[in-house]
Every structure is written in C-alpha cells, then in structure tokens.
Amino acid sequence: MARQKVFVTGANGTLGQDLLARLALFDQFDLVGADRTRLNLLWDETTLKSALDELNPDIVINPAAFTQVDAAEAERETAMTVNGIAPGILAQWTQEKNRYLIHISTDYVFEGTKGALYLPSDPTHPINYYGVSKRAGEEAILQNAPGQSAVVRTSWLFGPGARNFVPFVLQAAQQQKPIRIAMDQWGTPTWTGNLCKMILQVMEERWTGVFHGCSTGMTTRYEQALHLCKAIGMPTDFMTPVPTEAFGFPARRPENTAMQSSFDCALNWEDATETFLKTQGLLPSHV
C-alpha cells in the first residue's frame, strides 16, 4: 500500500490514543492526531473544512464523539452537532476531495429488543438522544460519501486510560470500594486493540458501508466485571448487582445491543479482556 497521510480525530480518547500508537508501527502511514484544539467538531462547516484542507489527509478516521449518554439528554444541540452534523461535514469534504473516511459509531443506534445479535443491515431505532445523534451521523456519512466511507459500529469499548468500564472496575477492585453494577444490560465488550486491527483492515481494503467492529459473544455488565476480577484474582464481594432502573439514569438504556461482528479477526470478549490485562501487566503473558 502506498504511503498515506492518516488523520485521527479524538486523539486524546481511549480509541484515538490506541489507534495512533498501533498505526505508528506501520511505515506506510504519516500520522496526524488532533484533539479539540486542532479540530473541534463543534466548529462550523467552513472552519471544519478549512482545517481539513490544511491537514490534507488521504484518510480520516473519526472516533471523536459526544459520548456522555445521560448528558446528551440535556445537551441535545451539542450532542447532535458533534455526533450528527460534523460527521456529515467530514463526509462532504471526503467526497469533494476524493479521500476516504472511517467513522466510529455505536451499538446504541439499536433499541435492544431484537432478542438476537444485531446485524449491520438491521433497522436502527435508538431509545436515547445519544443514539439518535449517532444515527444521524451515520445517515449523513452514507448520504454524503457513500462510495468513500465506512461506518464501523462498536460496543462497550475498553482499553488504556481511565475513562471506560474496565479501568473503573479495576480501580474499585484494587481499593475494594463498593460499587453497584447493572445486571440486566447485555452487550459485547470490545477491546480497543482488537478494534484497531479491524479498522486497519477496513482502511487497507477500502470497505464501504456499515460494519460491526466488536468482539464475539455477549454478557451483562455485572458478568463482565465478575470475569475481570476473577481473571486477576481479586475478590468480587465489593460489587452489588442491581437492575438498571436503580441508577435513575436520565437516558434510557437498551436491554440488549449485542452485535454480530463483521470481522474474522474478532476475539471472544473473554479472550479480549484477558489479552488487554496482559498488555497492562495484570496477567502473565503465558496465561
């Protein structure tokens, strides 16, 4: 593959950081990562496109998003601008400049009542505003750059850094700090390292359309936390399983958004968890 300039939004996020680190291992990429000071998805169309003109990438990967599910209910304009409108502008620029866009979306575009693994072709019906805004972004991209873009939905993403479920549970386990965890939400925990491999395949093979970049299998949040603690030999009595309604979240949570992965390289969620723990030095590498 010819040398290409790859621009990654959300460079300070869990996926953005891991993606930049892993792509840096390949000689054929000139990498540019941007946080909100260099490219802000709240900027207007003219400013966004000018920033892209200056960066002039061959490939744009967009993991940046307004991801605060509950805050999105109150901050709807901001959520829609970042998750819905800005991705459409990225797609317009992609189409105008004959470039390529990979956009990261979410399982929360589904309502969670199918009773089986969701396929990329299944109808979307989000039940909270975060999901509504992310679906709007998907639609804008597919409309504005249908032959030059890929939407990769992922779910329950975890990886390096502190702002995701796995580090949250690990910290509570180490401190034996009592926490409550939902026992009735089903999904597919996905490691950023595995998702990066999927994104690389999409980029190298120039996939177009909608795909599910997630692990295989499904579990609940509580069972995920149990598996995590047992893997590192920590007691689990600091955790209390509770129904989702006990949290009083402003945003509704779908009951089961587990998806069918589109990738042969997808790890089972348990294997993905243990592989991540090995990379963090929390499990011996030979385990």
DSSP, res 268: B
pTM, entire model: 0.96
According to the model, what pLDDT value does residue 36 have? 85
Residue 70 C-beta-side C-alpha neighbours within 13 Å: 4
The catalytic residue among 100, 118, 130, 222 is 130
Neighbours of 42 (CB within 10 A): 14
pLDDT (mean) for 22-50: 94
- Best CA proximity match to 90, nearest among 16, 145, 20, 10: 145
According to the model, what pLDDT value does residue 192 have? 97
Neighbours of 184 (CB within 10 A): 16
- Best CA proximity match to 287, nearest among 240, 103, 27, 276: 276
CATH number of the domain at 46, please: 3.40.50.720
Can 130 be counted among the known catalytic residues? yes
Whether the pLDDT of residue 197 is over 80: the answer is: yes
According to the model, what pLDDT value does residue 273 have? 96
Residues 65-83 have pLDDT tens digits of: 999 999 999 999 999 999 9
According to the model, what pLDDT value does residue 262 have? 98
Look at residue 50 and tell me if it is in a domain.
Answer: yes
| DSSP element (H, E) containing 154 | strand 149-154
Q: What is the mean pLDDT of the chain?
A: 95
pLDDT (mean) for 280-286: 75
Residues 123-156 have pLDDT tens digits of: 999 999 999 999 999 999 999 999 999 999 999 9
For the chain, what is the domain count? 1
According to the model, what pLDDT value does residue 35 have? 85
Which residue type occupies 112?
A: G
**Containing domain of residue 16, as a range?**
4-163+190-215+255-267
Q: What are phi and psi of 106, to 5 degrees?
A: -140, 155
Look at residue 127 and tell me if it is in a domain.
Answer: yes
Whether the pLDDT of residue 285 is over 70: the answer is: no
Provide, rounded to the nearest whole percent, the portion of the chain with pLDDT above 90. Answer: 93
Residues constituting the chain:
287
Start-end of H helices in the chain: 14-23, 45-55, 69-74, 76-80, 86-97, 129-144, 165-175, 192-205, 221-231, 269-279
According to the model, what pLDDT value does residue 282 have? 83
According to the model, what pLDDT value does residue 156 have? 97
Whether the pLDDT of residue 28 is over 80: the answer is: yes
Residues forming a β-bridge with 30: 5
Q: Starting at the edge strand that comes first in sequence, how are the strands of the sheet with 29-33 ordered?
A: 29-33, 4-8, 59-62, 100-106, 149-154, 209-212
User: What b-and-e string marks burial along 84-98, b requiring 16 or more CB atoms within 10 Å of the CB?
Assistant: bbbbbbbbbbbbebe
According to the model, what pLDDT value does residue 1 have? 56
In angstroms, the Cα distances linking 35 to 39, 92, 212 are 6, 21, 25
Residues 51-63 have pLDDT tens digits of: 999 999 999 999 9
Provide, rounded to the nearest whole percent, the portion of the chain with pLDDT above 70. Answer: 98
Gyration radius from the chain CA atoms: 19
Look at residue 91 and tell me if it is in a domain.
Answer: yes
Measured CA to CA, the distance from residue 49 to residue 94 in angstroms comes to 10
According to the model, what pLDDT value does residue 284 have? 67
Tokens of 35: 């946080």
